[in-house]
C-alpha cells in the first residue's frame, strides 16, 4: 500500500522536501512508516519527542495502523497566532 507523508516547517527544511510517498506492507503502523521515512531522509535526524503525528488530519499516536492512501503529517511544535 502507498501512503503520503507531509513535512512542515523545520522538518521540511531539514529533509529538503515537503512530501514523500512510501510503499508499506499491509498491516504497517505509523511507527513503521516513520522508520522508512527516516531512512530515506537521513537529514531529518532523530525526531524530537515534541513532534506530533496526524493521519488524515487527526492527531494519532505512532501505533496507529495505516491504510492505503493515508495522508500522514509530521507536526513539529506549532506556533500559530
Partner 1 sequence: MRFLITPDALDPDAAVQAVAHENAGAVVTFEGRVRRQSRSREVVRLEYEAYAPMAVELFERIDAETQRRWKTSLAIHHRMGSCAVGVVSVVIVAAAAHRAEAFDACRFAIEQLKADAPIWKKEIYTDGEFWVGQGS
Q: Which residues in this chain contact partner 1 in the complex, by CB under 8 A?
A: 6, 8-10, 12-14, 48, 50, 54, 57, 59, 73, 75-81
The per-residue b/e assignment along 22-41, b for 16 or more CB within 10 angstroms, e otherwise, is: bebeeebbbebbbebbeeeb
Query: In the complex with partner 1, which residue's Cβ is closer, 10 or 31?
Result: 10
For 74, the grid coordinates are 509530521
User: What is the longest distance spanned by two Cα atoms in the chain?
Assistant: 39
Query: In the complex with partner 1, which residue's Cβ is closer, 66 or 74?
Result: 74
Residue 10 CB, nearest approach to partner 1 (Å): 4
Residue 3 CB, nearest approach to partner 1 (Å): 16
Amino acid at each position: 500500500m502507498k501512503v503520503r507523508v507531509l513535512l512542515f516547517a523545520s522538518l521540511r527544511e531539514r529533509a529538503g522536501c515537503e512530501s514523500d510517498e512510501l510503499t508499506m506492507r499491509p498491516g504497517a503502523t505509523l511507527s513503521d512508516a516513520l522508520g522508512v521515512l527516516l531512512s530515506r531522509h537521513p537529514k531529518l535526524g532523530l525526531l524530537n519527542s515534541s513532534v506530533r503525528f496526524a493521519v488524515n488530519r487527526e492527531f494519532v499516536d505512532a501505533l496507529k495502523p495505516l491504510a492505503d492512501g493515508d495522508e500522514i503529517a509530521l507536526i513539529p511544535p506549532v506556533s500559530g497566532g
